Amino acid sequence: SVSLLELTNVSKEFHVGGDTRVYALDDVSLSVDAGETVAVIGESGSGKSTLGRLALRLIEPTRGSVRFDGADVLALPAAEMRKLRAKLQIIFQEPFESLNPRMRVADIIGEPLAIHRPTMSTAQRRARVAQMIEQVGLAPDMARRYPGELSGGQQQRVGIARAVVTEPSLVVLDEPTSSLDLSVRAQILRLLADLQAELGMGYLFISHDIHTVRYVSDRIAVMYRGRVVETGPSELVFADPQHPYTRALLAAALPVDPDQELAPARLVGDPLSPTQLV
Ligand code: ADP
């Protein structure tokens, strides 16, 4: 069977002045199947966002291939690329920053339909938005409110409704619960799982916290300095982590120097500060 998203031997270098290059991703291979949740776990700077942006086609890799539904997306003509865009969505960490504060909830959720489904009538769009509002657990009267009038959890529900209203096949979840109160996090994870069960989309779930994704991901990819150091079914990774870095993440606190047990970082060009090495 063909994977929904398939990244093969993907590297991404950034030029950061002179001959100095940073490897944000170094030879990463990862796939997401339809209806599957793949968690990408790692510390800040490990390459998670770069991976998410690649999956969404916001950036291109320096090397390697990106296939979506079997098609080589790096070679797609512009018209095909536009169609693909409607199938790729993202849910952000900070719902408020991702929502236009001057738009009402109904218009925020309906906007992707206006863009990607231009033949839909206004009445059809309104009906679909009302249905989405109910589906994400918001009260009908919230349709007329502005984001600033909602709680953090409600704002994230709006962000989720906006992301799934066009029925995408892949959604990148970029730390979707990290900015929320603890009491709200489980509710939002539950909602994301329910929507996936109903709509069948694949999730690429980015998180710095391996414990957050434990019960919602089918597979886990652990990233360290631009590389996937361990990948496998969630239960297996938790029960029997193979890589010392994964074991460190699973422990309550990180060791002082995880480098001790890892291969040296790769560097091209001028020496950089340790934080820039990948
Ligand atoms: P994470 O999401 O895990 O925090 P990122 O993907 O944002 O990691 O970053 C991975 C590495 O790539 C970091 O060292 C970061 O500084 C570098 N990087 C990311 N984007 C750029 C960019 N546009 N220009 C230069 N370096 C970048």
Distances (CA, A) of 260 to 25, 106, 209, 255: 21, 52, 22, 10
**Same domain, residue pair 74 and 179:** yes
- Beta-bridge mates of residue 222: 41, 230
Q: How far is the CA of 273 from the centre of ligand 1 (A)?
A: 14
Q: Between 277 and 53, where is the model more confident?
A: 53
DSSP per-residue letters across 196-231? HHHH--EEEEEES-TTTTTTT-SEEEEEETTEEEEE
The interface pTM score, or ipTM, of the predicted complex is: 0.97
Residue 23 has pLDDT above 60, yes or no: yes
**Same domain, residue pair 110 and 55:** no
| H/E stretch holding 83 | helix 78-85
pLDDT for res 19: 87
From 116, 132, 167, the end of a domain falls on 167
From 167, 184, 219, the end of a domain falls on 167
pLDDT for res 257: 43
Would 61 be classed as within a structural domain? yes
93 lines ligand 1 (CB under 6 A): no
Would 93 be classed as within a structural domain? no
Q: How far is the CA of 24 from the centre of ligand 1 (A)?
A: 5
Structure confidence by residue, pLDDT tens digits, 234-251: 999 999 999 999 999 998
SS3 104: coil
Residue whose CA is at the smallest distance from ligand 1 atom 6:
47
pLDDT band at residue 252 using 50, 70 and 90 as cut-offs: low
| Owner of token pair 């460190």 | 248
40 lines ligand 1 (CB under 6 A): no
Percent with pLDDT over 70 in the chain: 90
Would 92 be classed as within a structural domain? no
58 lines ligand 1 (CB under 6 A): no
**Is 184 in contact with 153 (CB distance < 8 Å)?**
yes
**Same domain, residue pair 52 and 42:** yes
**Same domain, residue pair 105 and 202:** no
pLDDT for res 68: 94
Probe residue for ligand 1, chosen from 11, 21, 44, 49 as the CB with the greatest number of ligand atoms within 8 Å: 49
Specify the range with the lowest mean pLDDT, choosing from 52-61, 169-178, 268-277. Answer: 268-277
Probe residue for ligand 1, chosen from 7, 12, 16, 50 as the CB with the greatest number of ligand atoms within 8 Å: 50
Residue 198 has pLDDT above 90, yes or no: yes
12 lines ligand 1 (CB under 6 A): no
Percent with pLDDT over 90 in the chain: 78
Contacts (Cβ under 8 Å, ≥6 apart) of 165: 109, 110, 112, 113, 128, 129, 132
Q: How far is residue 14 CA from its own chain's centroid?
A: 20
The token pair that represents 154 in the structure block: 């409600």
Residue 253 has pLDDT above 60, yes or no: no
In terms of residue numbers, what domain contains 13?
Answer: 5-87+169-276
Tell me the residue type at 22.
V
Distances (CA, A) of 10 to 13, 44, 69, 115: 10, 19, 17, 31
Greatest mean pLDDT range, 86-90, 124-128, 175-179: 124-128
Range 189-207 average pLDDT: 96
**Same domain, residue pair 122 and 143:** yes
**Same domain, residue pair 48 and 9:** yes
**Same domain, residue pair 147 and 264:** no
**Counted domains in the chain:** 2
16 lines ligand 1 (CB under 6 A): yes
24 lines ligand 1 (CB under 6 A): yes
Sheet (strand 71-72) strand order? 21-32, 5-15, 63-68, 71-72
pLDDT band at residue 182 using 50, 70 and 90 as cut-offs: confident
Nearest CA-CA partner of 168 in 100, 115, 208, 214: 115
Would 213 be classed as within a structural domain? yes
pLDDT for res 17: 86
- Beta-bridge mates of residue 240: none
Range 192-217 average pLDDT: 94
pLDDT band at residue 266 using 50, 70 and 90 as cut-offs: very low
Going by DSSP bridges, is the β-strand pair 71-72/63-68 parallel, antiparallel, or unpaired? antiparallel
The token pair that represents 7 in the structure block: 């990244």
273 lines ligand 1 (CB under 6 A): no
Residue whose CA is at the smallest distance from ligand 1 atom 15:
45
Would 50 be classed as within a structural domain? yes
pLDDT band at residue 10 using 50, 70 and 90 as cut-offs: very high
**Same domain, residue pair 162 and 246:** no
48 lines ligand 1 (CB under 6 A): yes
What angle, 0 to 180 degrees and rounded to 10, lies between the N-to-C axes of helices 152-164 and 122-135? Answer: 130
**Same domain, residue pair 59 and 186:** yes
Would 221 be classed as within a structural domain? yes
The token pair that represents 118 in the structure block: 């231009």
The token pair that represents 105 in the structure block: 């909830």
**Same domain, residue pair 145 and 213:** no
From 141, 167, 193, the end of a domain falls on 167
44 lines ligand 1 (CB under 6 A): yes
* Phi, psi dihedral angles at 217 (to 5 degrees): -110, 145
Q: What is the CATH number of the domain that holds 268?
A: 3.40.50.300
pLDDT for res 85: 85
**Same domain, residue pair 238 and 177:** yes
22 lines ligand 1 (CB under 6 A): yes
Residue whose CA is at the smallest distance from ligand 1 atom 19:
24
Range 137-159 average pLDDT: 97
**Is 243 in contact with 230 (CB distance < 8 Å)?**
yes
Sheet (strand 37-41) strand order? 88-91, 170-174, 202-207, 37-41, 219-224, 227-233
Ligand 1 atom closest to Cα of residue 47:
6
pLDDT band at residue 167 using 50, 70 and 90 as cut-offs: very high
**Same domain, residue pair 121 and 161:** yes
Ligand 1 atom closest to Cα of residue 208:
3
What is the C-alpha separation between 167 and 77, in angstroms, rounded? 22
pLDDT band at residue 275 using 50, 70 and 90 as cut-offs: very low
Mean pLDDT (the chain, rounded): 89
